Structure 1
Amino acid sequence: MFDSSGPASALVPVDEVRITTLVDNVYDGLLEDGPFTTRETFGRAGEAAPQFEGGRTEVGLLGEHGFSSLVAVRRGAAEATLLFDTGLSPSAMITNADRLGTDLHAVEGVVLSHGHFDHTGGLAGLAGRLGRERLPVLAHPEVWTKRRLVVPGREVFELPTLSKTALAGEGFDVIERREPTLLADGRVLITGEVARTTEFERGMPPSHQAWLDGDWRHDPAVIDDQALVVHLRGQGLVVLTGCGHAGVLNIVKQAQRLTGVDRLHALVGGLHLGGRAFEATIDPTVAALAELSPALLAPGHCTGWRAQHALASAFPDAWVPSSSGSVHRLVAA
């Protein structure tokens, strides 16, 4: 699975990509299927509930402020499956996987988009489910950075910091890389550290701080942010982000630059445009994405309601709301 040989431009086109959203901020059991997306409705998972006739009720899936996706790529008869982020809590990803009938033992590796706890919290649950299997975890070397939020009028909130020692103790094989990495026999690309080139994507506000060189400092970049890229044969790039702290256009530009493929077919994941600090970024982001004209746009997690409304209006045929349990299936031309 974790094959880093060859340049990123050697990314192998695939015949099919399936992205299953295991955890997102929202679960909506009434969403309808679309051209690329199927939804998890009620009727698959139930629990005991004596107040109902028959003693059971339907439970749907869990939503929490976090993100996790299961990514399956197929070329011919060969298929590879990896996990991209693990959600906020130790239990949500595992619970949703069980309710979806997903066997996490099929996962061949884990990729962490960055170190924030709402993307790494489910590693504990995954370790409990898999036991001491030596599952590889790919992360940027700065994923262990200690961070905090200092918001005026609120208590200082120090974010839970991921521990490399603890992960190794739970049976994970931690692999740290800044540079782009090819996975799954060249069928999946992890961008590595993303170059910041756009004028309008300026990163996190001053309230986001990191412990650097013995002091708390503004951390706008979240330099460990990275994304997952697949080249769908005849269609273009499929880009999956965790939070998109590097800026979604910076990420797409890096994917294009690394692969030599210009066309963006699908963009899925968090775009981090929520909150007042990012309002000025929404319009130029929408305008830049309009030039790329993706066939599928499924922003979730930290994208924010203002950005969601803007994107839904600008991309009426491509935009779909994200939800735990959504499966985006994309096939080659």
Structure 2
Amino acid sequence: MALEPVDRVRLTSLAGDFATCTERSRGPVRRRGNMFETRRRTAPLGAHGLSVLVEVTRGRETTTALFDCGLRDDVLRDNVRYLGAPLDKTQAIFLSHGHPDHYGGLSAALSLVGRRDGRKIPIVLHEAAFRERCWTWKDLRGGRYRLPRAVVRSPRASVAIQSGPAVFLSGMAMFLTDIPRRTRYELRRPGGQVLYRDGRRWRNDTTPDDGALVMHVRGRGLVILTGCGHAGLINTVREAVAQTGVSSVLSLVGGFHLCHAPARRIAATIRDLKAFAPRWVIPSHCSGLEFEAALRNAFPRGFALDSVGTEYTWDAPS
């Protein structure tokens, strides 16, 4: 599938589990929440969830999109204002899957984005994102949740149901859903089970709506952005390589959902990830402390822990 190479990819963390004012900038990582570097007395807010502003540049054309919206309207709104993030230029909203820590701030997002030409903002998502769901942990069952269709049907937005891979943003980004589950050790979900309602029955939910956004920086490789990585990190990377035909991986950013993962799975993931030789690995959200530590040991020069307010920029060679 044709994914156009671009000259620059810039990602800005608008919502995430971790926020710090002390981590320093280095290389492509600019810590805009560092109070010592910015000399501001306040910092962005951390809260469970994920939201990333995506800016992709080819020549003189820059296209902006929002990938997920975090858990809460107030957190997203405050962080956007703190960072001065250009959501008014947003051309699309991608929802990685139908879990509330990724769609919870959608109402705020829709109030912040605005098309100057009066056209509606497309919300790109998989049909399964609308499932009614609940989670279980051992003998506990959590509350039910579902993405309200009324929010998605806002007068400001249009709905674009997507199944499988497709290119967006003038061919500069590929959205992956229905990611094949071929890696055996990634078949089981770490940290509990999610169910979805099918009529009167609750069934095991494999989260087919789990999606990733992929960009290709010319001459350097793929930037792969995940929401939670329920499809499996290795499955996701393999699908990105297969669909784009680009074998080099520049960076992996986002939630990798390996919290509570056993040591064997973490070791296997690190082993298989090394085969792709990513230049940067930037875990966020639900990645888990043990996996984050393993990533830092495996990729010491290219590891950065995501923090709300951080900006990541990768440029093509001049």
TM class, shorter-length? over 0.9
Length-normalised TM-score, structure 1 = 0.89
Gaps spanning 5+ residues in structure 1: where? 1-7, 47-57
Whole-Å separation in 2 of the counterparts to 1:81 and 1:67: 17
Counterpart of 1:187 (choices 141, 153, 172) is: 172
Q: CA deviation at 1:92?
A: 1.1
Matched with 1:90 is: 73
Instruction: Note if 1:122 corresponds to 2:114.
Output: no
Counterpart of 2:9 (choices 4, 7, 17) is: 17
Instruction: Note if 1:290 corresponds to 2:274.
Output: yes
For structure 1, which segment, 132-141 or 280-289, has the greater mean C-alpha deviation from structure 2 after superposition? 132-141
Instruction: Note if 1:146 corresponds to 2:138.
Output: no
Q: CA deviation at 1:130?
A: 4.2
C-alpha distance 170-95 of structure 1, shift in aligned 2 (>3 A): farther
Counterpart of 1:99 (choices 76, 82, 92) is: 82
Matched with 1:320 is: 304
C-alpha distance 251-281 of structure 1, shift in aligned 2 (>3 A): same
Runs of 4+ in 1 over 4 A off after TM superposition: 43-46, 130-133
Q: CA deviation at 1:153?
A: 5.3
Matched with 1:332 is: 316
Instruction: Note if 1:134 corresponds to 2:126.
Output: no
Length-normalised TM-score, structure 2 = 0.93
Whole-Å separation in 2 of the counterparts to 1:317 and 1:45: 27
Q: CA deviation at 1:14?
A: 0.3
What letter corresponds to residue 15 of structure 1 in structure 2?
Answer: D
Instruction: Note if 1:200 corresponds to 2:172.
Output: no
The C-alpha deviation readout for 1:106-144, integer Å capped at 9, x for no partner, is 111100110100000110112333479621100011100
Q: CA RMSD in A?
A: 1.8
What letter corresponds to residue 129 of structure 2 in structure 1?
Answer: V
Matched with 1:42 is: 35
Q: CA deviation at 1:36?
A: 1.3
Partner SS for 2:297: helix
C-alpha distance 209-45 of structure 1, shift in aligned 2 (>3 A): farther
Q: CA deviation at 1:59?
A: 2.2
Whole-Å separation in 2 of the counterparts to 1:317 and 1:292: 15
What letter corresponds to residue 273 of structure 2 in structure 1?
Answer: L
Instruction: Note if 1:68 corresponds to 2:17.
Output: no
Q: State, as a whole percentage, how many aligned pairs show the same letter.
A: 33
Rg larger in structure: 1
Whole-Å separation in 1 of the counterparts to 2:299 and 2:309: 22
Whole-Å separation in 1 of the counterparts to 2:290 and 2:128: 31
Whole-Å separation in 2 of the counterparts to 1:133 and 1:92: 26
Counterpart of 1:59 (choices 42, 53, 64) is: 42
Residues 45 and 60 of structure 1 are in contact (CA less than 8 Å); yes or no, is this contact kept in structure 2?
no
Matched with 2:145 is: 160
Residues 68 and 85 of structure 1 are in contact (CA less than 8 Å); yes or no, is this contact kept in structure 2?
yes
Q: CA deviation at 1:247?
A: 0.4
C-alpha distance 279-146 of structure 1, shift in aligned 2 (>3 A): farther
What letter corresponds to residue 280 of structure 2 in structure 1?
Answer: L
Residues 89 and 113 of structure 2 are in contact (CA less than 8 Å); yes or no, is this contact kept in structure 1?
no
For structure 1, which segment, 113-122 or 171-180, has the greater mean C-alpha deviation from structure 2 after superposition? 171-180
Partner SS for 1:238: strand
The C-alpha deviation readout for 1:165-186, integer Å capped at 9, x for no partner, is 3321353201101021111111
Alignment length, in residue pairs? 311
Matched with 1:214 is: 200
Q: CA deviation at 1:214?
A: 2.5
Whole-Å separation in 2 of the counterparts to 1:133 and 1:171: 8
Partner SS for 2:195: strand
Matched with 1:258 is: 243
Gaps spanning 5+ residues in structure 2: where? none
Matched with 2:22 is: 30
What letter corresponds to residue 316 of structure 2 in structure 1?
Answer: A
